[in-house]
């Protein structure tokens, strides 16, 4: 393995000058005899490096000295009175990235290769303790088959690395949620097929359930899958009867956001309750009404659906998919309990789940 060069501390050998001072000249100064075209070239290079926030470095393998400009010192969080050395450079790297850095150096200084050096690693600032992703690129120069120095640049790529990490996270989330969604759709299709009396009935019921699921997902998509407003979820799942909100459908509860899994499962339950109410319950006549309430009490979230004034109701003779959704599926998915009653005044459904399914909560609310 290639070992580090001498750690002998050398004085700061080179610093890119401020292009606004000394006539805009920068780099190695040659005094009055310096050709004008060279001065202009140095000035352009300095301005371009400053604009791109790119640091410049040189490593002399023979003497062991480092040449770092101000940007390099900033990237490493180097105190003003500290001289850069190989040990300082290497010790500032995130331990997980040291091997990758060593490998890139070994490759670049191999005389059988082209001398190109390129590596990304995390640097923990010596003075500020801030961790930054740095892209270092350079070229090694050889003499008599041995690398004698390397010159290159470095720049902060932390924002890009954070975006890449976020994209990877989103891709994993999409894959996970897609699998869950397909499992839910498969269960919906299977259970709907069991209870549907005909192919036409299956198409109608299954399509409505898919639309309810899609509606919940639309709300989540609008919030970048962070969560869904409980009130917006209720309004969406009431569907064709949303115009009755404020007259025959009464909503009351504080503003709060549900986490995605809670929104998806609660949305399905609300859809089944609304469908049942339209066929057999409070929305099946002209006089019935529904009260939907939700609250956060200590460590529990509770929501209730109470129908009043509809036709007489009774427990179903057989347990269909809708019944399973509002009783078993939602409780298993959200680790809660359900109280379902068929009172003389109408159906009453209450769900009680842990508050860990609540993303945010507001101080105000309806009611």
SS3 annotation, the chain: CCCCCCCCCCCCCCCCCCCCCHHHCCCCCCHHHCCHHHHHHHHHHHHHHHHCCEEEEEEECCCCCEEECHHHHHHCCCCCCCCCCHHHHHHCECHHHHHHHHHHHHHHCCCCCCCEEEEEEEEECCCCCCEEEEEEEEEEEEECCEEEEEEEEEEECHHHHHHHHHHHHHHHHHHHHHHHHHHHHHHHHHHHHHHCCCHHHHHHHHHHHHHHHHHHHHHHHHCCCCCEEHHHHHHHHHHHHHHHECCCEEEEEEEEEECHHHHHHHHHHHHHHHHHHHHCCCCCCCCCEEEEEEEEECCEEEEEEEEECCCCCCCCCCCCHHHHHHHHHHHHHHCCEEEEEEECCEEEEEEEEEHHHEEEEEEEEEC
172-206 pLDDT tens trace: 877 876 777 787 788 778 878 887 889 988 888 88
Distances (CA, A) of 108 to 48, 69, 113, 247: 26, 22, 7, 76
Q: Classify residue 14 as exposed, middle or buried by CB count within 10 Å of its CB (0-12, 13-18, 19+).
A: middle
> Rounded distance, CA 289 to CA 291, Å?
7
Let me know: does 206 contact 188? Beta carbons within 8 Å: yes
- Separation between Cα atoms, residue 82 and residue 93, nearest integer Å: 17
First to last CA, the chain: 72
Residue 47's contacts (CB-CB under 8 Å, 6 or more residues apart) are 19
Residue 125: both structure tokens together: 């600032």
Residue positions counted in the chain: 367
pLDDT tens readout for residues 291-323: 999 999 889 999 999 999 999 988 888 888 888
**Residue 127 dihedral angles phi and psi, to the nearest 5°:** -90, -40
For residues 285 and 310, the answer to whether their CB atoms sit within 8 Å is yes
Extract the tokens encoding 71.
């940007």
Task: Specify the pLDDT at position 159.
Answer: 95
| Whole-number Å distance between alpha carbons of 234 and 138 | 59
Cβ atoms 12, 73 nearer than 8 A = no
- Give the pLDDT score at 274: 93
In tens digits, the chain (367 residues) has pLDDT values of 333 343 333 333 333 333 333 333 333 444 445 678 877 877 787 787 777 789 999 999 999 999 999 999 999 999 988 999 999 999 999 999 999 999 999 999 999 999 999 999 999 999 999 999 999 999 999 999 999 999 999 999 999 999 999 889 878 877 876 777 787 788 778 878 887 889 988 888 888 888 888 888 888 887 777 889 999 999 999 877 888 999 999 999 999 999 998 999 999 999 999 999 999 999 999 999 999 999 998 899 999 999 999 999 888 888 888 888 999 989 999 999 999 999 989 999 999 999 999 987 654 455 5
Kindly list the distances between the CA atom of residue 264 and the CA atoms of 15, 230, 260, 280, in Å, as whole numbers in the listed order: 59, 11, 6, 24
Average pLDDT taken over every residue of the chain: 85
């Amino acid at each position: 393995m290639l070992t580090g060069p001498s750690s002998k501390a050398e004085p700061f050998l080179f610093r890119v000058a401020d292009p606004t001072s000394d006539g805009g000249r920068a780099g190695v100064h040659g005094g009055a005899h310096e050709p004008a075209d060279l001065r202009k070239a140095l000035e352009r290079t300095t301005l371009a490096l400053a604009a791109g926030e790119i640091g410049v470095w040189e490593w002399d393998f023979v003497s062991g000295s480092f040449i770092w400009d101000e940007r390099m010192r900033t990237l490493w969080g180097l105190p003003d009175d500290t001289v850069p050395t190989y040990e300082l450079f290497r010790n500032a790297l995130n331990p997980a990235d040291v091997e990758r850095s060593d490998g890139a150096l070994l490759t670049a200084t191999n005389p059988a290769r082209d001398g190109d050096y390129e590596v990304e690693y995390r640097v923990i600032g010596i003075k500020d303790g801030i961790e930054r992703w740095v892209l270092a690129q350079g070229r090694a120069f050889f003499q008599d088959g041995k690398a004698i120095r390397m010159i290159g640049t470095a720049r902060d790529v932390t924002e890009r690395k954070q975006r890449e990490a976020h994209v990877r996270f989103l891709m994993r989330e999409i894959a996970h949620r897609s699998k869950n969604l397909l499992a839910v759709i498969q269960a919906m299709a299977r259970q709907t097929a069991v209870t549907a009396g005909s192919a036409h009935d299956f198409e109608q019921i299954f399509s409505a359930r898919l639309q309810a699921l899609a509606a919940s997902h639309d709300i989540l998509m609008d919030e970048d899958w962070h969560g869904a407003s409980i009130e917006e979820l209720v309004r969406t799942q009431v569907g064709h009867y949303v115009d009755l909100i404020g007259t025959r459908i009464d909503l009351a509860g504080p503003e709060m956001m549900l986490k995605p899994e809670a929104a998806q499962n609660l949305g399905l339950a609300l859809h089944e309750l609304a469908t049942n109410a339209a066929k057999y319950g409070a929305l099946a006549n002209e006089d019935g009404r529904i009260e939907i309430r939700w609250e956060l009490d200590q460590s529990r979230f509770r929501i209730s659906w109470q129908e009043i004034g509809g036709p007489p109701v009774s427990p179903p003779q057989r347990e269909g998919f809708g019944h399973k959704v509002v009783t078993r599926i939602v409780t298993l998915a959200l680790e809660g309990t359900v109280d379902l009653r068929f009172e003389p005044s109408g159906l009453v459904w209450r769900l009680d789940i842990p508050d860990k399914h609540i993303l945010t909560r507001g101080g105000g609310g309806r009611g």
